[in-house]
């Protein structure tokens, strides 16, 4: 299988080898070459976007395009460390450019101040991976379908107060390699009994194992049928975060924004009403998502952005160098509980 990032032969200079020495020791020179040949689009430069940008730039991708049409606000300065306080009123992508570039001069960082939804389809086809934050549900569904058709890796993520999520679509047949302890087969000459004839794991040696995993579209992941007996039985093990995401995306669709602390009471009530409507449409009980959730969905909290951005950035890096098992296909983080959950939603 020829991946699109192999179309461009990436050379690692001596300076880059020194810069990425620790990473090369960790995941190998070939993996670093794959990163060095990869171009990534990051839409949305809020607190989460800044964390993802930092992680991708430090990892050493070839190019990163920062796409954001919004202006720097007082609130965004609190969660977004790439924009200086003096940049209020400026375009957020352009205001993030200098600090982002300074993280690693070897990476080509570009700022695009236009709106992601105004971009033509051809714009997205120049990238090896597309990361979507702060986008509407409809836009994510459209771009997920478009990119999947052209073998472009898709990632979606957001942070809402104490909650955060990440979704990954690496295509119907994503190939990767995983390092495993080497299994040593016994020689046929052993006479020490049955145990000596069993294969054993040698902890001092490893081998690379080729694997393949299938991903579904975002549309399939969000539009599950919860009326079947199998789905009903699975509800007991389904994290409430999945339904919370549905509610928050519906709020963004209806209001054209996320819950705002300045209208806390009104938005909290709206969230609970949307919860009831969404759960009824999905044919599941609203009690699966208790009323307390509506108090913890406001603003981007920096610690939550750091956790979700760390996971999201690492998943993009893993997908680009095609080593290690990816998260399939959702990661949910709840800062109130202090834990994250990886779960798959979609056709089996």
* pLDDT attached to residue 181: 81
Q: Which pair of tokens denotes residue 183?
A: 């299994």
* pLDDT attached to residue 4: 41
* pLDDT attached to residue 188: 58
pLDDT digits (tens, 9 = 90+) for 131-168: 999 999 999 999 999 999 999 999 999 999 999 999 99
In a domain, residue 54? The reply is yes
Given 192, 211, 230, which residue is the final one in a domain? 211
Residues 226 and 268 in one domain: yes
Q: Report residue 8's pLDDT band, with 50, 70 and 90 as the boundaries.
A: very low
DSSP annotation of 171: -
Higher-scoring residue by pLDDT: 189, 262: 262
Q: Quick check: 244 and 250 in contact, CB under 8 A?
A: no
Residues 236 and 274 in one domain: yes
Total tally of structural domains belonging to the chain: 3
Mean pLDDT value of segment 52-67: 97
Which residue range(s) make up the domain with 330?
A: 4-172+302-343
3-state SS, residue 135: coil
Tell me whether the omega of the peptide bond preceding residue 283 falls within 30 degrees of 0, making it cis. no
* pLDDT attached to residue 189: 58
Residues 260 and 182 in one domain: no
In a domain, residue 165? The reply is yes
Residues 86 and 202 in one domain: no
pTM: 0.91
In a domain, residue 348? The reply is no
Q: Quick check: 175 and 323 in contact, CB under 8 A?
A: no
The backbone torsions φ and ψ at residue 182, rounded to the nearest 5 degrees and listed phi first, read -75, 135
């Amino acid at each position: 299988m020829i991946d699109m990032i192999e179309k461009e032969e990436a050379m690692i200079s001596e300076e880059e080898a020194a810069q990425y020495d620790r990473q090369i020791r960790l995941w190998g020179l070939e993996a670093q070459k794959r990163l060095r040949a990869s171009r990534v689009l990051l839409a949305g430069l809020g607190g989460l976007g800044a964390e993802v940008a930092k992680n991708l730039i430090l990892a050493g991708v070839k190019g990163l395009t920062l796409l954001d049409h919004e202006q720097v606000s007082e609130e965004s300065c609190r969660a977004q460390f790439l924009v200086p306080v003096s940049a209020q009123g400026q375009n957020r992508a352009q205001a993030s450019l200098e600090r982002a570039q300074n993280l690693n001069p070897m990476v080509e960082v570009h700022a695009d101040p236009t709106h992601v939804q105004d971009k033509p389809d051809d714009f997205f086809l120049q990238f090896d991976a597309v990361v979507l934050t702060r986008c509407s549900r409809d836009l994510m569904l459209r771009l997920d379908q478009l990119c999947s058709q052209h073998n472009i890796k898709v990632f979606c993520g957001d942070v809402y107060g104490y909650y955060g999520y990440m979704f990954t679509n690496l295509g119907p047949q994503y190939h990767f390699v995983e390092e495993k302890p080497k299994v040593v087969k016994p020689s046929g000459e052993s006479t020490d009994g049955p145990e000596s004839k069993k294969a054993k794991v040698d902890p001092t040696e490893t081998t690379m194992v080729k694997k393949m995993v299938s991903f579904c579209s975002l549309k399939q992941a969000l539009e599950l049928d919860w009326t079947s007996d199998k789905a009903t039985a699975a509800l007991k093990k389904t994290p409430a975060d999945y339904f919370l995401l549905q509610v928050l995306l519906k709020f963004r669709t209806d209001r054209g924004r996320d819950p705002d602390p300045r209208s806390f009471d009104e938005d909290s009530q709206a969230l609970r009403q949307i919860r009831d409507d969404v759960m009824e449409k999905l044919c599941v009980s609203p009690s699966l998502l208790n009323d307390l959730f509506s108090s913890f969905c406001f603003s981007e909290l920096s610690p939550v952005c750091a956790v979700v951005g760390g996971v999201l950035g690492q998943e993009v890096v893993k997908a680009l160098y095609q080593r290690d098992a990816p998260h399939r296909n959702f990661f949910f983080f709840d800062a109130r509980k202090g834990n994250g959950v990886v779960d798959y939603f979609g056709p089996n």
